[in-house]
Copies of this chain bind each other. A is one copy, B any other.
């Protein structure tokens, strides 16, 4: 066939016969088309057909009309199909019918359009009846065509057709459409045609080729419906891919005996090549005799287990088993398939690598390695960090079969339990008095921020995964279920009403599952994740309590650690965090923040430091802080037992340690108004005023503090050095990396480095300990990245602070803008994902690349790492691997995710 259908001269090739494609052409042919082609070439029984490429769709959408050459190419391929089938599209005697099915690169279930039975017309309906020997089947097929075509191609409200169908049933006084006979359906076809004329102002097209062309355009157009765009935004599918269109010869699973009760040798079904929950071998699927795919979806009748097909039609069953085995060895993974049996002949309508739960992904990957179907490297590619993260959240214990009252969108994972509250004020008040609360709103807005912070979880009845609630909750790492539209939230009455009349009043306990979207009345017990138990070392992979999943995770993590090129460190500020990080597999601390060490009881010391009016007072305070800081570092260095620890010198603005300006001003003013004593507050207020900044994020912090507050950084360096010496004296090993924050110019770093180096030398000399500390800097300002070549001359390592780098590169502060407009930005497609979640490669990533490259050029072997939150984000980890960093550092709980993704990055892009 392809030989007869050369592309029109000068026009690009837009159409591909199934025999011309293969499974790796998903970009061009979409997922469905590529897999139909693959099966065709495997010699499996696929109904003949061809695919119109995504190129054609993109050209159509760009120009607003079919590109030159497309219609001619479709004509050529259709002619070839007709020749092969020995029937012509819409032939009145013996019509060829086709389906027109969308099929994009990524599955978008229910989002796109499909039209079946194209080719039927007033003329050909009787030809079909004659050939099939089934008049009712022919009129029912025609009725379905007009209905489907009217809705999807001509954009007619489906209600009109439903009403006509109802009227028809009422006229005949029957309950179901199966009871309508050929004559009834023929009358219904007339009503349908009248509806088309009335609603669209045109007749239902009788020309089969016109039917087909209009259906193709409708599929193209369906790419840009609001529903499809929303879905893509939520699933992070790019908007510019376009969809392919598959034209497939119709086969009929409903072409059986006329009586629905008779045993049929037609039918339709779906199947998995192995157990999708565990990956174990076996027969898993559903079968519906005498039916078409849409009937399965509609759920009119109960399906049979696939095993029963063996009894009904052993030949087809054996053939299906053979094909499934071919597919599995070919795809080397669990596949799901759709098939139809038309009068004893098995046809494959679709296959794809099957979707699976997070747990199943790990189990299947592990099992396939055991069966020697895939290698450990391939196993790493079959799982991902998001799945692992999902397995690490605590889970509801559903063994008590709690009452699920509704389901919303799984916007931010976790299992949260608390008392229902319906406004932010109550959330804050109750939480302050020790209650756990779930904040329930129709939708949230910036006013709800306080309540969201106070709540265990957030539940809304409106808005999708890019709504304010979802975006902000994910940013906070807080459990959220959103858009639970079955719920009626009445904030005035402080009550929510769920389906079946379930009512939750303020104060009632409610449980929400951010991983599944399930909402339960009452308190559902929460179980720790067995995977976390394993990482924590409380559940060995070989212990009797370990289940299959834990063993699979263990094996895959072992392979991951062997594979990855990136080291993984953790961000940890306390010995406890450090110890947990090690248990989770961290190979060091990439960010030990010292500001947390200045809180609690030491806050008053810091206040004294800030208010110090002369050097002697300042020195006195620093001397008091020194031994405390030293103890902090001894603790952490000991916990890390010789692994590298990167200590960041004090970063935040000093005024963060002082009272809030507004609160203090109010206190002073009120005291004044009441004539009360307020001398101390007034003095404090003056200091706070002096240090107040309009934009503290862009103010006196980081290295600027170190350069302006005499002795501060030096005290910290001395504490680090003395701690390292103490650890060494106790027989331990201390590997410290001293990190100077917020450097924008090499000169800043040089001054601090020289001061720090002389303190290190001095402590080395006094203690005799061998303190081998590196001195480096964070790269967290655009200027640092842009002058990395200069800065590398003075830095022994770089650590990319991608949180701050994102803030300055984009010019927005996370605290301010995430709640204010990220939701709108995601909805309008300005971001696909918040740049604070996944590294923005074009902007921030470009700076990281430039700095890595120019830093290493200036100082070969310069140690490079990242300590922003992106260090634990799967997509970002791949980027960091690709640009050649030495390590990523993230929160302890993300360490396993980073380990896994680092390995997956190494599989995809091995380092030389």
Contacts and interface: CB of A to CB of B under 8 A. Distances in A.
Interface stretch (A128-136, A165-173, A302-310, A813-821): A813-821
Interface string A761-788: 0000000000000000000111100110
A816 B693 contact: yes
Interface string A729-759: 0000000000000101101100100000000
A825 interface: yes
Interface stretch (A33-41, A141-149, A700-708): A700-708
A810 interface: yes
A314 to B, nearest CB: 58
B808 A751 contact: no
Interface string A872-892: 000000000000000000000
Interface stretch (A214-222, A403-411, A502-510, A662-670): A662-670
A846 interface: yes
A704 B843 contact: no
Contacts of A780: 811
A787 B781 CA distance: 17
Given A670-B673, A808-B809, A830-B748, A698 B697 contact: yes
A842 interface: yes
B843 A690 contact: no
A861 B297 CA distance: 57
A625 B763 CA distance: 68
A239 to B, nearest CB: 10
A695 interface: yes
A707 to B, nearest CB: 6
A838 to B, nearest CB: 14
Given A662-B662, A748-B830, A751-B828, A783 B804 contact: no
Interface in A823-881: 824-825, 828-831, 840, 842-844, 846-847
Interface residues of A, number: 60
A699 interface: yes
A736 to B, nearest CB: 26
A812 interface: yes
A790 interface: yes
Interface in A670-723: 670, 673-674, 690, 693-700, 704, 707-708
A820 B708 contact: yes
B662 A747 contact: no
Query: What 6 A-B pairs have minimum CB-CB distances, sorted nearest first?
Result: A783-B843, A698-B813, A695-B813, A782-B782, A699-B816, A781-B811
Interface of A: 446-447, 661-662, 665-666, 669-670, 673-674, 690, 693-700, 704, 707-708, 742, 744-745, 747-748, 751, 780-783, 786-787, 790, 804, 807-813, 815-817, 820-821, 824-825, 828-831, 840, 842-844, 846-847
Given A695-B695, A698-B817, A804-B811, 10 more contacts: A693-B816, A693-B820, A694-B813, A695-B698, A695-B816, A747-B828, A751-B830, A782-B782, A786-B847, A808-B808
